[in-house]
Amino acid sequence: MSRGPGYLHYYLFQTISAADHPLTFAEIIAIAKPHEEEYRPHMVRSMRRTLAKMVAGNVLCAERVTKAFAKPPTYSVLVYLGGVRR
């Protein structure tokens, strides 16, 4: 049973909205844990699932710079102000 957005949702939203440019997943991880070498696999999986849910819920926008799948998508906050996306 879902009780609304969780701590990870809020954290990712604040991190991505505070950035001045769209962030890749690697940049989000670097901001979250700057001094650790790597995240544990279950935390990476949780972050990816949370990002996917936020994109599906139209909270975030996932864009690919090119159509090549070699480049990771960038995530930005999807805000509509009078019909104009920021």
pLDDT score, position 72: 76
- The pTM score is 0.71
pLDDT score, position 58: 79
Nearest to 28 by CA among 59, 70, 74: 74
Average pLDDT, the chain: 76
pLDDT score, position 66: 63
Residue 81 banded pLDDT, cuts 50, 70, 90: very low
* Single-letter amino acid, residue 77: V
Classify the phi-psi angles of 8: left when phi > 0, otherwise alpha if psi is within -120 to 50, otherwise beta. alpha
Tokens 């104009």 sit on residue: 84
Q: Give per-residue pLDDT as tens, 24-64.
A: 888 888 888 766 666 778 888 888 888 888 888 877 787 76
For the chain, domains (ranges, CATH) are 7-85 (1.10.10.10)
